[in-house]
Each structure stands twice: as C-alpha cells, then as structure tokens.
Amino acid sequence: MSHKSSVIVLVLIALSSPALISAQNSAKFNEELPAGVMQQKATTACLECHEARIILQQRLSKSVWTKEVDKMLKWGAVVDANDRDALIDYLSGNFSPERAVYDAPRSAREKTRAKNTTERNTR
C-alpha cells in the first residue's frame, strides 16, 4: 500500500467510526408511527421536523389533537386538506388518553429502573 492510500484508509476509519456509533444509537430510538391507512402520509408529513417519539408519547383527546395538527400545519407541515380529518382520526385513535402511558426506550434502561426503584423505596 502506498503512503497516500494508507493515509486515505486512516482518514476513512476515523470518519466512519463515530458515524457507526451514532447510527447504532439512533436505531434504538428510531421508532415508527403505528400501522394504519394514514401511516405513510403521517410519516411523510410529521417526521420531517422531528422524530416519531414526540407523537408516540402523546395521550390527547380528539379536540386537542385537532389543535395540535392545526398548529403543526401553521408551522409548515405539508398535509393535503382532504387528509386533515383522517390524520386527526389516526392520531386521536392511536394516541388517546385511554391508551397506556408511552414506554420510552432508554439507552440505560436497567440502570434507570434500578435508580427509580431505589428512589421510590427510600421515599
């Protein structure tokens, strides 16, 4: 291997390893919106600026989802006017207050659980 190509290889290794690590970390948090007729459109319209988690963790009534969607539309979400109602139904159906609380994926779940348990026990 020439000196030049070994330098290139070293640079590539240096550049790729942090990228690999962050790809592995983000995979854990890369959740999808739930299946349904609006899944694809919601994924396109709503995951443009933030990840799914901000939606998955909500437990809102239909009227609050309506306000939320209209707020996102005002902020620039691209949703066909004909899809607005179906999108609100999709979100309020999947993320209503009746649903169990969102179980957030954590990078150090066991550690966090143990810590929370200890805190609860000593209170």
Q: How far is the CB of 36 from ligand HEC (least distance, A)?
A: 13
Radius of gyration of the chain (CA): 21
Q: Which of 52, 64, 77, 86 binds ligand HEC (CB under 6 A)?
A: 77
C-alpha 98/C-alpha 3 separation (Å) is 64
Q: Interaction with ligand HEC in 93-112: which residues (CB under 6 A)?
A: none
Give the DSSP letter string of 32-47. -PPSSTTHHHHHHHHT
Q: How far is the CB of 113 from ligand HEC (least distance, A)?
A: 25
C-alpha 94/C-alpha 51 separation (Å) is 17
CA angle 97, 87, 63 (to 5 degrees): 45
Q: Does 69 bind ligand HEC (CB under 6 A)?
A: yes
Give the DSSP letter string of 78-92. ---GGGHHHHHHHHH
Number of residues that bind ligand HEC (CB under 6 A): 17
Q: How far is the CB of 15 from ligand HEC (least distance, A)?
A: 29
Of 52, 39, 41, 40, nearest to 83 by C-alpha is: 41
Q: Does 88 bind ligand HEC (CB under 6 A)?
A: no
Q: Which of 79, 90, 92, 94 binds ligand HEC (CB under 6 A)?
A: 79
- Tracing tokens 């999108």 back to the chain, one arrives at 87
Instruction: Specify the stretch interacting with ligand HEC by CB under 6 A; choose among 9-17, 67-75, 98-106, 110-118.
Output: 67-75
Interface ranges with ligand HEC (CB under 6 A): 45-46, 48-50, 54-55, 58, 68-69, 71-72, 75-77, 79, 91
